[in-house]
Amino acid sequence: MFLETKNLTKKFGGLTAVHNVDFTIEKGKINAIIGPNGAGKSTFFNLISGFHPPSSGSIILKGQDITNMPPNKIAEMGIARTFQTTNLFEQSTVLDNVVVGHRLRTRSNLLDAILRTKRLRREEDQCHEKALEVIRFTGLEKVAGKLVGSLTQEEKKRTAFALALATEPEIIFLDEPAAGVNPDETEGLAELMNKMVDSGITVCLIEHKMQMIMKLADKIMVLNYGEKIAEGTAEEIQNNPAVIKAYLGGSAIA
Ligand SMILES: Nc1ncnc2c1ncn2[C@@H]1O[C@H](COP(=O)(O)OP(=O)(O)OP(=O)(O)O)[C@@H](O)[C@H]1O
Protein backbone atom coordinates (compact mmCIF):
# COMPACT_ATOMS: atom_id res chain seq x y z
CA MET A 1 0.00 0.00 0.00
CA PHE A 2 1.57 3.29 -1.04
CA LEU A 3 -0.90 6.07 -0.37
CA GLU A 4 -4.33 5.49 1.02
CA THR A 5 -7.29 7.66 2.02
CA LYS A 6 -9.81 6.40 4.53
CA ASN A 7 -13.28 7.94 4.79
CA LEU A 8 -11.79 11.20 3.56
CA THR A 9 -14.34 14.01 3.81
CA LYS A 10 -14.27 17.74 3.14
CA LYS A 11 -17.16 20.04 3.86
CA PHE A 12 -17.32 23.68 2.79
CA GLY A 13 -20.16 25.01 4.96
CA GLY A 14 -23.24 23.03 3.92
CA LEU A 15 -21.56 21.51 0.84
CA THR A 16 -19.78 18.18 1.07
CA ALA A 17 -17.15 18.41 -1.68
CA VAL A 18 -15.53 15.05 -0.81
CA HIS A 19 -17.57 12.43 1.01
CA ASN A 20 -16.12 9.37 2.76
CA VAL A 21 -13.66 8.53 -0.02
CA ASP A 22 -11.53 5.40 0.37
CA PHE A 23 -8.86 5.29 -2.32
CA THR A 24 -5.58 3.45 -2.69
CA ILE A 25 -2.86 4.79 -4.92
CA GLU A 26 -0.64 2.02 -6.19
CA LYS A 27 3.12 2.46 -6.37
CA GLY A 28 4.72 2.62 -9.79
CA LYS A 29 1.36 2.97 -11.53
CA ILE A 30 -0.62 5.68 -13.28
CA ASN A 31 -3.65 6.34 -11.12
CA ALA A 32 -6.40 8.62 -12.40
CA ILE A 33 -9.34 10.47 -10.91
CA ILE A 34 -12.19 11.41 -13.20
CA GLY A 35 -15.66 12.82 -12.72
CA PRO A 36 -17.99 15.54 -13.97
CA ASN A 37 -17.31 19.21 -13.20
CA GLY A 38 -17.55 19.98 -9.50
CA ALA A 39 -17.26 16.30 -8.53
CA GLY A 40 -14.58 17.04 -5.92
CA LYS A 41 -11.43 16.01 -7.82
CA SER A 42 -9.35 19.12 -7.14
CA THR A 43 -10.54 19.21 -3.55
CA PHE A 44 -9.38 15.61 -3.16
CA PHE A 45 -5.92 16.65 -4.44
CA ASN A 46 -5.93 19.67 -2.12
CA LEU A 47 -6.62 17.41 0.86
CA ILE A 48 -3.79 15.02 0.02
CA SER A 49 -1.28 17.80 -0.59
CA GLY A 50 -2.23 19.58 2.65
CA PHE A 51 -3.75 22.71 1.07
CA HIS A 52 -7.05 22.03 2.85
CA PRO A 53 -7.45 20.23 6.17
CA PRO A 54 -9.98 17.40 5.86
CA SER A 55 -13.21 17.63 7.87
CA SER A 56 -12.76 13.96 8.78
CA GLY A 57 -11.00 10.81 7.64
CA SER A 58 -7.33 10.11 7.17
CA ILE A 59 -4.49 10.04 4.66
CA ILE A 60 -1.78 7.40 5.06
CA LEU A 61 1.51 7.50 3.17
CA LYS A 62 3.60 4.31 3.36
CA GLY A 63 1.98 3.41 6.68
CA GLN A 64 2.41 6.88 8.19
CA ASP A 65 -0.55 9.10 9.00
CA ILE A 66 -0.01 12.42 7.20
CA THR A 67 -3.51 13.85 7.79
CA ASN A 68 -3.29 17.53 8.81
CA MET A 69 0.42 17.85 8.00
CA PRO A 70 1.24 21.27 6.45
CA PRO A 71 1.92 21.36 2.68
CA ASN A 72 5.69 21.89 3.06
CA LYS A 73 5.99 18.80 5.31
CA ILE A 74 3.91 16.76 2.88
CA ALA A 75 6.16 17.90 0.03
CA GLU A 76 9.21 16.88 2.07
CA MET A 77 7.61 13.45 2.49
CA GLY A 78 7.84 13.06 -1.29
CA ILE A 79 4.45 14.25 -2.54
CA ALA A 80 4.50 16.87 -5.34
CA ARG A 81 1.66 18.42 -7.26
CA THR A 82 0.90 20.66 -10.19
CA PHE A 83 -2.06 22.99 -10.45
CA GLN A 84 -4.92 23.31 -12.96
CA THR A 85 -3.98 26.91 -13.66
CA THR A 86 -0.22 27.20 -13.77
CA ASN A 87 1.48 28.68 -10.74
CA LEU A 88 4.63 29.67 -12.62
CA PHE A 89 6.43 33.02 -12.73
CA GLU A 90 5.64 34.19 -16.25
CA GLN A 91 8.32 36.91 -16.25
CA SER A 92 11.12 34.49 -15.29
CA THR A 93 12.90 31.92 -17.41
CA VAL A 94 12.07 28.21 -17.38
CA LEU A 95 15.39 27.55 -15.62
CA ASP A 96 14.75 30.16 -12.91
CA ASN A 97 11.25 28.76 -12.31
CA VAL A 98 12.51 25.21 -11.99
CA VAL A 99 15.55 26.01 -9.80
CA VAL A 100 13.15 26.91 -6.98
CA GLY A 101 11.77 23.36 -6.78
CA HIS A 102 14.89 21.80 -5.34
CA ARG A 103 15.07 24.45 -2.56
CA LEU A 104 12.77 22.08 -0.67
CA ARG A 105 15.74 19.72 -0.29
CA THR A 106 18.29 22.35 0.81
CA ARG A 107 19.05 23.77 4.25
CA SER A 108 20.69 27.17 3.74
CA ASN A 109 18.85 30.11 5.33
CA LEU A 110 18.76 33.90 5.27
CA LEU A 111 22.04 34.17 7.16
CA ASP A 112 23.75 31.91 4.61
CA ALA A 113 22.35 34.17 1.88
CA ILE A 114 23.61 37.38 3.57
CA LEU A 115 27.07 35.91 4.21
CA ARG A 116 27.12 33.93 0.93
CA THR A 117 28.45 30.93 2.81
CA LYS A 118 30.01 27.84 1.25
CA ARG A 119 26.87 25.89 2.10
CA LEU A 120 24.73 28.38 0.18
CA ARG A 121 27.00 28.24 -2.89
CA ARG A 122 27.13 24.44 -2.79
CA GLU A 123 23.35 24.20 -2.49
CA GLU A 124 22.80 26.76 -5.26
CA ASP A 125 24.94 24.57 -7.52
CA GLN A 126 22.89 21.52 -6.49
CA CYS A 127 19.62 23.32 -7.33
CA HIS A 128 21.04 24.38 -10.69
CA GLU A 129 22.19 20.83 -11.50
CA LYS A 130 18.82 19.39 -10.48
CA ALA A 131 16.99 21.97 -12.59
CA LEU A 132 19.09 21.10 -15.65
CA GLU A 133 18.43 17.39 -15.04
CA VAL A 134 14.65 17.79 -14.90
CA ILE A 135 14.67 20.22 -17.83
CA ARG A 136 16.40 17.51 -19.88
CA PHE A 137 13.98 14.88 -18.56
CA THR A 138 10.95 16.93 -19.58
CA GLY A 139 12.40 17.87 -22.99
CA LEU A 140 12.70 21.60 -22.32
CA GLU A 141 16.40 22.13 -23.12
CA LYS A 142 15.68 24.38 -26.10
CA VAL A 143 13.48 26.76 -24.10
CA ALA A 144 15.34 26.71 -20.77
CA GLY A 145 16.42 30.34 -21.18
CA LYS A 146 13.04 31.62 -22.42
CA LEU A 147 10.53 33.52 -20.29
CA VAL A 148 7.65 31.28 -19.22
CA GLY A 149 5.20 33.92 -20.48
CA SER A 150 6.44 33.31 -24.04
CA LEU A 151 5.99 29.50 -23.98
CA THR A 152 3.28 27.43 -25.61
CA GLN A 153 0.66 25.90 -23.34
CA GLU A 154 2.32 22.49 -23.72
CA GLU A 155 5.73 23.87 -22.76
CA LYS A 156 4.15 25.51 -19.72
CA LYS A 157 2.70 22.14 -18.73
CA ARG A 158 6.14 20.56 -19.08
CA THR A 159 7.64 23.37 -16.98
CA ALA A 160 5.08 22.68 -14.26
CA PHE A 161 6.05 18.97 -14.40
CA ALA A 162 9.73 19.95 -14.21
CA LEU A 163 9.15 22.17 -11.18
CA ALA A 164 7.36 19.34 -9.38
CA LEU A 165 10.07 16.83 -10.38
CA ALA A 166 12.81 19.13 -9.02
CA THR A 167 11.45 18.45 -5.52
CA GLU A 168 12.46 14.78 -6.04
CA PRO A 169 9.00 13.34 -5.37
CA GLU A 170 8.06 9.70 -4.94
CA ILE A 171 4.54 10.52 -6.08
CA ILE A 172 3.36 13.33 -8.31
CA PHE A 173 -0.20 14.66 -8.52
CA LEU A 174 -1.03 16.28 -11.84
CA ASP A 175 -4.16 18.43 -12.01
CA GLU A 176 -5.45 18.36 -15.62
CA PRO A 177 -2.00 18.02 -17.17
CA ALA A 178 -3.32 18.00 -20.75
CA ALA A 179 -5.92 20.78 -20.49
CA GLY A 180 -5.68 23.25 -23.36
CA VAL A 181 -3.14 21.33 -25.45
CA ASN A 182 -3.70 19.80 -28.91
CA PRO A 183 -3.92 16.01 -29.57
CA ASP A 184 -0.27 15.63 -30.65
CA GLU A 185 0.94 17.49 -27.61
CA THR A 186 -1.39 15.43 -25.43
CA GLU A 187 0.32 12.33 -26.78
CA GLY A 188 3.72 13.83 -25.88
CA LEU A 189 2.59 14.60 -22.33
CA ALA A 190 1.24 11.06 -21.96
CA GLU A 191 4.66 9.74 -23.01
CA LEU A 192 6.25 11.95 -20.40
CA MET A 193 3.97 10.51 -17.71
CA ASN A 194 4.96 7.00 -18.76
CA LYS A 195 8.60 8.07 -18.57
CA MET A 196 8.05 9.32 -15.01
CA VAL A 197 6.61 5.97 -14.01
CA ASP A 198 9.51 4.15 -15.71
CA SER A 199 11.90 6.25 -13.62
CA GLY A 200 10.19 5.06 -10.42
CA ILE A 201 7.75 7.90 -9.73
CA THR A 202 4.12 7.10 -8.99
CA VAL A 203 1.65 9.26 -10.89
CA CYS A 204 -1.86 10.33 -9.94
CA LEU A 205 -3.75 12.63 -12.27
CA ILE A 206 -7.05 14.38 -12.76
CA GLU A 207 -8.07 14.64 -16.37
CA HIS A 208 -11.13 15.35 -18.48
CA LYS A 209 -9.58 13.94 -21.68
CA MET A 210 -11.15 10.52 -21.58
CA GLN A 211 -9.36 8.95 -24.54
CA MET A 212 -6.05 9.77 -22.97
CA ILE A 213 -7.06 8.47 -19.54
CA MET A 214 -8.50 5.23 -20.87
CA LYS A 215 -5.24 4.53 -22.71
CA LEU A 216 -2.90 5.70 -20.01
CA ALA A 217 -4.27 4.88 -16.57
CA ASP A 218 -3.66 1.58 -14.80
CA LYS A 219 -6.37 2.39 -12.30
CA ILE A 220 -9.21 4.91 -12.29
CA MET A 221 -11.43 6.29 -9.54
CA VAL A 222 -14.65 8.07 -10.49
CA LEU A 223 -16.05 10.79 -8.27
CA ASN A 224 -19.55 12.21 -8.56
CA TYR A 225 -20.92 14.83 -6.15
CA GLY A 226 -17.97 14.10 -3.85
CA GLU A 227 -18.60 10.36 -3.64
CA LYS A 228 -16.60 7.52 -5.15
CA ILE A 229 -18.99 5.80 -7.53
CA ALA A 230 -16.52 3.43 -9.20
CA GLU A 231 -12.93 2.26 -9.17
CA GLY A 232 -11.11 -0.08 -11.53
CA THR A 233 -9.35 -0.50 -14.86
CA ALA A 234 -10.32 1.51 -17.93
CA GLU A 235 -12.42 -1.37 -19.21
CA GLU A 236 -14.27 -1.79 -15.91
CA ILE A 237 -14.96 1.94 -15.69
CA GLN A 238 -16.22 2.24 -19.26
CA ASN A 239 -18.72 -0.54 -18.67
CA ASN A 240 -19.90 0.63 -15.26
CA PRO A 241 -23.59 1.70 -15.39
CA ALA A 242 -23.20 4.23 -12.54
CA VAL A 243 -20.36 5.91 -14.42
CA ILE A 244 -22.27 5.98 -17.69
CA LYS A 245 -25.24 7.52 -15.86
CA ALA A 246 -23.03 10.15 -14.20
CA TYR A 247 -21.73 11.16 -17.60
CA LEU A 248 -25.29 11.50 -18.98
CA GLY A 249 -25.41 8.65 -21.42
CA GLY A 250 -21.75 7.93 -21.59
CA SER A 251 -20.75 9.84 -24.72
CA ALA A 252 -18.02 11.53 -22.73
CA ILE A 253 -16.27 8.25 -21.97
CA ALA A 254 -16.81 6.49 -25.24
N1 LIG B 1 -12.59 26.66 -1.29
C2 LIG B 1 -13.86 26.32 -1.54
N3 LIG B 1 -14.87 26.87 -0.86
C4 LIG B 1 -16.15 26.51 -1.09
N5 LIG B 1 -16.53 25.57 -1.98
C6 LIG B 1 -15.57 24.99 -2.69
C7 LIG B 1 -14.18 25.31 -2.51
N8 LIG B 1 -13.44 24.52 -3.36
C9 LIG B 1 -14.32 23.77 -4.03
N10 LIG B 1 -15.59 24.04 -3.63
C11 LIG B 1 -16.80 23.38 -4.12
O12 LIG B 1 -16.61 21.97 -3.95
C13 LIG B 1 -17.17 21.24 -5.04
C14 LIG B 1 -16.07 20.39 -5.68
O15 LIG B 1 -15.17 21.27 -6.36
P16 LIG B 1 -13.83 20.74 -7.04
O17 LIG B 1 -13.14 21.96 -7.60
O18 LIG B 1 -13.08 19.90 -6.10
O19 LIG B 1 -14.40 19.86 -8.23
P20 LIG B 1 -13.68 19.26 -9.50
O21 LIG B 1 -14.16 17.87 -9.65
O22 LIG B 1 -12.21 19.48 -9.39
O23 LIG B 1 -14.27 20.18 -10.65
P24 LIG B 1 -13.66 20.61 -12.09
O25 LIG B 1 -13.58 19.36 -12.91
O26 LIG B 1 -14.70 21.57 -12.61
O27 LIG B 1 -12.34 21.25 -11.83
C28 LIG B 1 -17.75 22.29 -5.98
O29 LIG B 1 -19.14 22.37 -5.72
C30 LIG B 1 -17.04 23.56 -5.62
O31 LIG B 1 -17.84 24.71 -5.88
Residues 6+ apart with CB under 8 A from 235: none
- Residue 120 pLDDT: 72
The finding on whether 46 has its CB within 6 A of some atom of ligand 1 is: no
C-alpha distances out from residue 96 to 8, 101, 102, 124, 137, Å: 37, 10, 11, 12, 16
- State whether the beta carbon of 42 lies less than 6 angstroms from ligand 1: yes
Distance 43 CA to ligand 1 centre (A): 6
With beta carbons less than 8 A apart as the criterion, state whether 233 and 218 touch. Answer: yes
Q: Which atom of ligand 1 is nearest to the CA of 13?
A: 4
The average pLDDT across 125-129 equals 86
Q: What is the DSSP letter of 227?
A: E
Highest mean pLDDT among 74-83, 111-120, 133-142: 133-142
Ligand 1 pocket residue status of 52, Cβ below 6 Å: no
Residue-level pLDDT at 119: 76
Instruction: Please state the φ and ψ torsions of residue 57, each to the nearest 5 degrees.
Output: 95, 180
Give φ, ψ of 211 to 5 degrees.
-60, -45
Give the chain's domains with CATH numbers.
1-78+169-254 (3.40.50.300), 88-163 (no CATH)
